[in-house]
Structure 1
Amino acid sequence: MKEFPIIETERLLLRKIEQHDAHAIYSYFSDDDVTRNYGMSTFTTIEQAEKLILAFDMMTLENKGIRWGIVRKDTNELIGSGGFHNVSGPYKRCEIGYEIAKKHWRQGFATEALHAMLSYGFMTYNRIGAIVLPENNASSLLLEKNGFMREGLLRNYIIQDGVARNGYMYSILKEEWVI
Protein backbone atom coordinates (compact mmCIF):
# COMPACT_ATOMS: atom_id res chain seq x y z
CA MET A 1 0.00 0.00 0.00
CA LYS A 2 1.55 3.26 -1.10
CA GLU A 3 -0.51 5.83 0.74
CA PHE A 4 -2.84 5.17 3.63
CA PRO A 5 -6.41 5.53 2.31
CA ILE A 6 -8.66 8.12 3.90
CA ILE A 7 -12.41 7.54 3.75
CA GLU A 8 -14.96 10.28 4.33
CA THR A 9 -18.64 9.77 5.12
CA GLU A 10 -21.36 12.24 6.01
CA ARG A 11 -20.32 12.48 9.68
CA LEU A 12 -17.04 10.55 9.89
CA LEU A 13 -13.46 10.58 8.71
CA LEU A 14 -11.67 7.23 8.64
CA ARG A 15 -7.94 7.93 8.79
CA LYS A 16 -4.62 6.48 9.88
CA ILE A 17 -4.22 6.07 13.63
CA GLU A 18 -1.21 7.99 14.95
CA GLN A 19 0.65 7.88 18.27
CA HIS A 20 -1.06 11.12 19.35
CA ASP A 21 -4.31 9.08 19.37
CA ALA A 22 -3.04 6.89 22.22
CA HIS A 23 -4.99 8.75 24.93
CA ALA A 24 -8.28 8.46 23.04
CA ILE A 25 -7.68 4.76 22.37
CA TYR A 26 -6.76 4.20 26.00
CA SER A 27 -9.91 6.00 27.17
CA TYR A 28 -12.25 3.50 25.52
CA PHE A 29 -10.10 0.35 25.76
CA SER A 30 -9.82 0.97 29.51
CA ASP A 31 -13.63 0.76 29.73
CA ASP A 32 -14.83 -2.72 30.72
CA ASP A 33 -18.10 -2.17 28.85
CA VAL A 34 -16.16 -1.74 25.58
CA THR A 35 -13.68 -4.61 26.06
CA ARG A 36 -16.18 -7.09 27.54
CA ASN A 37 -17.44 -8.04 24.07
CA TYR A 38 -14.26 -7.21 22.19
CA GLY A 39 -12.31 -10.33 23.13
CA MET A 40 -9.34 -8.64 24.78
CA SER A 41 -8.36 -7.56 28.26
CA THR A 42 -9.17 -4.07 29.45
CA PHE A 43 -6.22 -1.68 29.19
CA THR A 44 -4.58 -0.57 32.42
CA THR A 45 -1.78 1.62 30.98
CA ILE A 46 -1.36 4.14 28.18
CA GLU A 47 1.58 2.04 26.95
CA GLN A 48 -0.87 -0.67 25.90
CA ALA A 49 -2.58 1.82 23.60
CA GLU A 50 0.78 2.91 22.18
CA LYS A 51 1.72 -0.72 21.46
CA LEU A 52 -1.65 -1.33 19.80
CA ILE A 53 -1.03 1.60 17.45
CA LEU A 54 2.37 0.12 16.54
CA ALA A 55 0.69 -3.26 15.90
CA PHE A 56 -1.83 -1.57 13.58
CA ASP A 57 1.10 0.07 11.71
CA MET A 58 2.92 -3.27 11.33
CA MET A 59 -0.24 -5.01 10.14
CA THR A 60 -0.61 -2.42 7.38
CA LEU A 61 3.08 -2.45 6.42
CA GLU A 62 3.05 -6.25 6.16
CA ASN A 63 -0.17 -6.23 4.08
CA LYS A 64 -1.95 -8.29 6.73
CA GLY A 65 -4.72 -5.77 7.24
CA ILE A 66 -5.62 -2.14 7.81
CA ARG A 67 -7.11 -0.29 10.76
CA TRP A 68 -8.67 3.17 10.50
CA GLY A 69 -9.29 5.61 13.28
CA ILE A 70 -12.95 6.62 13.28
CA VAL A 71 -13.15 10.37 13.78
CA ARG A 72 -16.25 12.55 14.16
CA LYS A 73 -15.94 15.35 11.65
CA ASP A 74 -17.92 17.82 13.77
CA THR A 75 -15.67 17.48 16.83
CA ASN A 76 -12.47 15.99 15.32
CA GLU A 77 -12.68 13.40 18.13
CA LEU A 78 -11.37 9.85 17.67
CA ILE A 79 -14.35 7.72 18.77
CA GLY A 80 -13.19 4.25 17.74
CA SER A 81 -11.42 2.23 15.12
CA GLY A 82 -12.22 -0.37 12.53
CA GLY A 83 -10.72 -2.27 9.68
CA PHE A 84 -9.63 -5.54 8.16
CA HIS A 85 -7.41 -8.28 9.58
CA ASN A 86 -6.71 -11.96 8.83
CA VAL A 87 -6.30 -10.93 5.22
CA SER A 88 -5.78 -13.71 2.70
CA GLY A 89 -4.93 -11.92 -0.53
CA PRO A 90 -4.82 -14.96 -2.82
CA TYR A 91 -8.28 -16.03 -1.64
CA LYS A 92 -9.66 -12.45 -1.63
CA ARG A 93 -11.01 -12.70 1.90
CA CYS A 94 -10.54 -11.01 5.25
CA GLU A 95 -12.28 -10.32 8.55
CA ILE A 96 -13.63 -7.00 9.73
CA GLY A 97 -13.58 -5.62 13.25
CA TYR A 98 -14.58 -2.37 14.92
CA GLU A 99 -15.24 -0.68 18.25
CA ILE A 100 -16.82 2.59 19.27
CA ALA A 101 -16.36 4.45 22.58
CA LYS A 102 -19.36 3.90 24.85
CA LYS A 103 -20.48 7.53 24.90
CA HIS A 104 -20.99 7.28 21.11
CA TRP A 105 -23.02 4.07 21.11
CA ARG A 106 -26.49 3.96 19.52
CA GLN A 107 -25.93 7.03 17.36
CA GLY A 108 -25.38 5.23 14.05
CA PHE A 109 -21.62 5.75 13.94
CA ALA A 110 -20.83 2.01 13.79
CA THR A 111 -23.26 1.55 10.90
CA GLU A 112 -21.80 4.51 9.03
CA ALA A 113 -18.22 3.31 9.53
CA LEU A 114 -19.16 -0.29 8.62
CA HIS A 115 -20.71 0.84 5.33
CA ALA A 116 -17.62 2.84 4.44
CA MET A 117 -15.25 -0.01 5.27
CA LEU A 118 -17.32 -2.57 3.34
CA SER A 119 -17.47 -0.33 0.27
CA TYR A 120 -13.69 -0.01 0.42
CA GLY A 121 -13.14 -3.71 1.15
CA PHE A 122 -15.26 -5.01 -1.71
CA MET A 123 -12.99 -3.20 -4.16
CA THR A 124 -10.48 -5.96 -3.28
CA TYR A 125 -12.14 -8.80 -1.38
CA ASN A 126 -14.83 -11.29 -2.38
CA ARG A 127 -15.70 -12.35 1.19
CA ILE A 128 -15.59 -10.38 4.43
CA GLY A 129 -16.09 -12.26 7.68
CA ALA A 130 -16.59 -11.17 11.26
CA ILE A 131 -16.30 -12.95 14.63
CA VAL A 132 -18.75 -11.83 17.32
CA LEU A 133 -19.03 -13.04 20.89
CA PRO A 134 -22.53 -14.50 21.47
CA GLU A 135 -23.20 -11.98 24.25
CA ASN A 136 -22.59 -9.06 21.88
CA ASN A 137 -26.16 -8.66 20.63
CA ALA A 138 -25.57 -5.12 19.35
CA SER A 139 -22.77 -6.23 17.02
CA SER A 140 -24.69 -9.29 15.82
CA LEU A 141 -27.69 -7.09 15.03
CA LEU A 142 -25.49 -4.52 13.26
CA LEU A 143 -23.98 -7.19 11.01
CA GLU A 144 -27.29 -8.91 10.28
CA LYS A 145 -28.99 -5.60 9.41
CA ASN A 146 -26.19 -4.99 6.93
CA GLY A 147 -26.44 -8.28 5.07
CA PHE A 148 -24.07 -10.54 7.01
CA MET A 149 -25.15 -14.13 7.53
CA ARG A 150 -24.37 -16.10 10.69
CA GLU A 151 -22.51 -19.21 9.54
CA GLY A 152 -21.93 -21.00 12.79
CA LEU A 153 -20.43 -21.16 16.24
CA LEU A 154 -16.67 -21.31 16.79
CA ARG A 155 -16.26 -23.12 20.10
CA ASN A 156 -13.65 -21.82 22.57
CA TYR A 157 -12.37 -19.57 19.79
CA ILE A 158 -11.18 -16.65 21.88
CA ILE A 159 -9.27 -16.66 25.17
CA GLN A 160 -10.06 -13.50 27.14
CA ASP A 161 -8.61 -12.99 30.60
CA GLY A 162 -7.80 -16.70 30.76
CA VAL A 163 -11.36 -17.80 29.89
CA ALA A 164 -12.22 -19.62 26.66
CA ARG A 165 -15.13 -17.97 24.86
CA ASN A 166 -17.20 -18.95 21.86
CA GLY A 167 -17.63 -16.76 18.79
CA TYR A 168 -20.21 -16.57 16.06
CA MET A 169 -18.81 -16.55 12.52
CA TYR A 170 -20.51 -14.10 10.16
CA SER A 171 -19.80 -13.32 6.52
CA ILE A 172 -20.99 -11.30 3.58
CA LEU A 173 -20.03 -11.86 -0.05
CA LYS A 174 -19.32 -9.16 -2.60
CA GLU A 175 -22.40 -10.06 -4.65
CA GLU A 176 -24.57 -9.76 -1.52
CA TRP A 177 -23.36 -6.28 -0.62
CA VAL A 178 -25.93 -3.59 -1.38
CA ILE A 179 -25.14 -0.01 -0.41
Structure 2
Amino acid sequence: MKEEFPDLLTSRLLLREIGEKDLPALFAIFSSKHTMKYYGSELIQNMEEAEGVLMSFQKGFENQQAVRWGIARKDTNEIIGTCGFHNWSKRVGRIELGYDLIEEAEGKGYMSEALSAIIPYGFDELQLNRIGALIHQDNSSSRKLVHKLGFQEEGILRDYAFARGNYIDLIMHSLLKKDWRKS
Protein backbone atom coordinates (compact mmCIF):
# COMPACT_ATOMS: atom_id res chain seq x y z
CA MET A 1 0.00 0.00 0.00
CA LYS A 2 1.18 3.50 -0.77
CA GLU A 3 2.36 5.73 2.08
CA GLU A 4 0.20 8.63 0.88
CA PHE A 5 -3.54 8.16 1.36
CA PRO A 6 -5.17 7.25 -1.99
CA ASP A 7 -8.03 9.57 -2.94
CA LEU A 8 -10.49 8.02 -5.39
CA LEU A 9 -12.99 9.88 -7.60
CA THR A 10 -16.32 8.72 -8.98
CA SER A 11 -18.91 10.69 -10.91
CA ARG A 12 -20.55 12.09 -7.74
CA LEU A 13 -18.14 11.21 -4.94
CA LEU A 14 -14.70 11.88 -3.57
CA LEU A 15 -13.38 8.99 -1.49
CA ARG A 16 -10.81 10.65 0.73
CA GLU A 17 -8.89 10.45 3.97
CA ILE A 18 -10.97 11.17 7.05
CA GLY A 19 -9.61 13.97 9.22
CA GLU A 20 -10.35 15.91 12.40
CA LYS A 21 -12.77 18.20 10.55
CA ASP A 22 -14.90 15.12 9.86
CA LEU A 23 -15.42 14.22 13.52
CA PRO A 24 -19.02 15.55 13.59
CA ALA A 25 -19.85 13.37 10.57
CA LEU A 26 -18.17 10.32 12.15
CA PHE A 27 -20.14 10.94 15.32
CA ALA A 28 -23.39 11.19 13.32
CA ILE A 29 -22.66 7.89 11.57
CA PHE A 30 -21.39 5.80 14.48
CA SER A 31 -23.92 7.07 17.03
CA SER A 32 -26.95 6.44 14.80
CA LYS A 33 -29.12 3.49 15.82
CA HIS A 34 -30.37 3.24 12.24
CA THR A 35 -26.94 3.26 10.58
CA MET A 36 -25.37 0.94 13.14
CA LYS A 37 -28.31 -1.48 13.36
CA TYR A 38 -26.40 -4.32 11.68
CA TYR A 39 -22.86 -3.10 12.30
CA GLY A 40 -21.79 -5.47 15.06
CA SER A 41 -20.39 -2.88 17.44
CA GLU A 42 -21.67 -0.56 20.12
CA LEU A 43 -22.94 2.93 19.34
CA ILE A 44 -20.47 5.67 20.17
CA GLN A 45 -21.65 8.09 22.83
CA ASN A 46 -19.55 11.24 22.44
CA MET A 47 -16.93 13.09 20.39
CA GLU A 48 -14.07 11.42 22.29
CA GLU A 49 -15.28 8.07 21.00
CA ALA A 50 -15.56 9.56 17.49
CA GLU A 51 -11.89 10.55 17.85
CA GLY A 52 -11.16 6.93 18.78
CA VAL A 53 -12.86 5.75 15.58
CA LEU A 54 -10.80 8.24 13.57
CA MET A 55 -7.59 7.15 15.29
CA SER A 56 -8.33 3.48 14.59
CA PHE A 57 -8.84 4.28 10.89
CA GLN A 58 -5.59 6.27 10.79
CA LYS A 59 -3.60 3.63 12.68
CA GLY A 60 -4.89 0.86 10.42
CA PHE A 61 -3.62 2.77 7.39
CA GLU A 62 -0.28 3.68 9.00
CA ASN A 63 0.29 0.03 9.92
CA GLN A 64 -0.74 -1.09 6.42
CA GLN A 65 -3.47 -3.31 7.84
CA ALA A 66 -6.51 -1.36 6.65
CA VAL A 67 -7.72 1.55 4.57
CA ARG A 68 -10.95 3.42 5.29
CA TRP A 69 -12.18 6.18 3.02
CA GLY A 70 -14.59 8.93 3.89
CA ILE A 71 -17.36 9.03 1.31
CA ALA A 72 -17.83 12.71 0.47
CA ARG A 73 -20.21 14.18 -2.07
CA LYS A 74 -18.17 16.22 -4.56
CA ASP A 75 -20.50 19.22 -4.32
CA THR A 76 -20.25 19.61 -0.53
CA ASN A 77 -17.10 17.61 0.46
CA GLU A 78 -19.05 16.51 3.55
CA ILE A 79 -18.73 12.90 4.69
CA ILE A 80 -21.95 10.92 4.19
CA GLY A 81 -20.43 7.55 5.07
CA THR A 82 -17.27 5.47 5.10
CA CYS A 83 -16.03 2.41 3.26
CA GLY A 84 -12.87 0.43 3.11
CA PHE A 85 -10.88 -2.65 3.85
CA HIS A 86 -9.76 -4.27 7.12
CA ASN A 87 -8.48 -7.63 8.42
CA TRP A 88 -5.87 -7.74 5.67
CA SER A 89 -4.04 -11.03 5.36
CA LYS A 90 -1.29 -10.03 2.93
CA ARG A 91 0.28 -13.47 2.71
CA VAL A 92 -2.84 -14.94 1.11
CA GLY A 93 -4.15 -11.76 -0.52
CA ARG A 94 -7.36 -11.66 1.50
CA ILE A 95 -9.19 -8.70 3.01
CA GLU A 96 -12.64 -7.79 4.35
CA LEU A 97 -14.92 -5.00 3.19
CA GLY A 98 -16.79 -2.63 5.50
CA TYR A 99 -19.08 0.31 4.83
CA ASP A 100 -21.71 2.59 6.32
CA LEU A 101 -23.87 5.46 5.16
CA ILE A 102 -25.99 8.08 6.91
CA GLU A 103 -29.71 7.39 6.65
CA GLU A 104 -30.42 10.50 4.55
CA ALA A 105 -28.03 9.26 1.83
CA GLU A 106 -29.48 5.75 1.54
CA GLY A 107 -31.20 4.59 -1.64
CA LYS A 108 -29.38 7.01 -3.94
CA GLY A 109 -26.71 4.61 -5.26
CA TYR A 110 -23.85 6.24 -3.34
CA MET A 111 -22.57 3.04 -1.75
CA SER A 112 -22.67 1.09 -4.99
CA GLU A 113 -20.70 3.92 -6.61
CA ALA A 114 -18.15 4.02 -3.77
CA LEU A 115 -17.62 0.26 -3.60
CA SER A 116 -17.30 0.11 -7.38
CA ALA A 117 -14.26 2.39 -6.96
CA ILE A 118 -12.56 0.64 -4.06
CA ILE A 119 -12.94 -2.93 -5.35
CA PRO A 120 -10.66 -2.31 -8.37
CA TYR A 121 -8.25 -0.49 -6.04
CA GLY A 122 -8.14 -3.60 -3.86
CA PHE A 123 -7.49 -6.00 -6.70
CA ASP A 124 -5.14 -3.79 -8.73
CA GLU A 125 -3.24 -1.72 -6.14
CA LEU A 126 -3.32 -4.00 -3.09
CA GLN A 127 -2.90 -7.14 -5.20
CA LEU A 128 -5.78 -8.90 -3.45
CA ASN A 129 -7.12 -12.26 -4.51
CA ARG A 130 -10.23 -12.25 -2.31
CA ILE A 131 -12.49 -9.59 -0.80
CA GLY A 132 -14.88 -10.82 1.87
CA ALA A 133 -17.97 -9.13 3.25
CA LEU A 134 -19.54 -10.28 6.52
CA ILE A 135 -23.18 -9.20 6.59
CA HIS A 136 -25.93 -9.59 9.18
CA GLN A 137 -28.53 -12.03 7.87
CA ASP A 138 -31.35 -9.49 8.32
CA ASN A 139 -29.53 -6.76 6.35
CA SER A 140 -31.19 -7.49 3.01
CA SER A 141 -30.20 -4.19 1.36
CA SER A 142 -26.51 -4.82 2.07
CA ARG A 143 -26.75 -8.39 0.85
CA LYS A 144 -28.42 -7.18 -2.39
CA LEU A 145 -25.69 -4.57 -2.83
CA VAL A 146 -22.77 -6.98 -2.65
CA HIS A 147 -24.59 -9.50 -4.85
CA LYS A 148 -25.08 -6.76 -7.47
CA LEU A 149 -21.31 -6.10 -7.30
CA GLY A 150 -20.55 -9.76 -8.05
CA PHE A 151 -20.06 -11.21 -4.56
CA GLN A 152 -21.20 -14.76 -3.90
CA GLU A 153 -22.84 -15.87 -0.68
CA GLU A 154 -20.76 -18.59 0.97
CA GLY A 155 -22.54 -19.42 4.18
CA ILE A 156 -23.50 -18.51 7.72
CA LEU A 157 -20.89 -17.99 10.42
CA ARG A 158 -22.79 -18.83 13.57
CA ASP A 159 -22.37 -16.57 16.63
CA TYR A 160 -19.50 -14.86 14.80
CA ALA A 161 -19.88 -11.41 16.37
CA PHE A 162 -20.99 -10.07 19.74
CA ALA A 163 -22.78 -6.72 20.00
CA ARG A 164 -25.29 -5.11 22.34
CA GLY A 165 -25.28 -8.18 24.59
CA ASN A 166 -26.00 -10.74 21.88
CA TYR A 167 -24.09 -13.15 19.68
CA ILE A 168 -24.80 -12.55 16.02
CA ASP A 169 -24.76 -14.84 12.99
CA LEU A 170 -23.11 -13.27 9.95
CA ILE A 171 -23.23 -14.37 6.33
CA MET A 172 -19.92 -14.52 4.49
CA HIS A 173 -19.88 -13.17 0.94
CA SER A 174 -16.81 -13.08 -1.27
CA LEU A 175 -15.54 -11.70 -4.52
CA LEU A 176 -12.49 -13.32 -6.10
CA LYS A 177 -10.19 -11.51 -8.49
CA LYS A 178 -10.73 -14.15 -11.19
CA ASP A 179 -14.53 -13.69 -10.93
CA TRP A 180 -14.32 -9.89 -10.81
CA ARG A 181 -12.36 -9.79 -14.04
CA LYS A 182 -15.19 -11.67 -15.78
CA SER A 183 -17.91 -9.22 -14.74
The alignment's TM-score, normalised by the length of structure 1, stands at 0.97
Q: Deviations over 1:116-161 (max 9, x none)?
A: 0101001110110010001111100000111100101000011011
Paired amino acid for 2:15: L
Residue 52 of structure 1 aligns with which residue?
53
Residue 9 of structure 1 aligns with which residue?
10
Is the partner of 1:34 in helix, strand or coil? coil
Distance 1:163 1:4 in 2: 36
1:173 aligns with 2:176: yes
Task: Give 4+ residue runs of structure 1 displaced > 4 Å after superposition.
Answer: none
How far 1:21 moved relative to its partner?
Answer: 0.7
Equivalent residues in 2 for 1:4-153 (5 A)?
A: 4-123=5-124, 124-153=127-156
How far 1:58 moved relative to its partner?
Answer: 0.7
Is the partner of 1:106 in helix, strand or coil? coil
Q: Deviations over 1:38-81 (max 9, x none)?
A: 11111211111110000011111111110010000012110011
Paired amino acid for 2:176: L
Mind listing any 5+ residue stretches in structure 2 that lack a counterpart?
none
Q: How many residues align?
A: 179
Distance 1:129 1:113 in 2: 16
1:157 aligns with 2:160: yes
How far 1:109 moved relative to its partner?
Answer: 0.2
Paired amino acid for 1:42: L
- Give identity over the alignment, percent: 40
Distance 1:150 1:47 in 2: 37
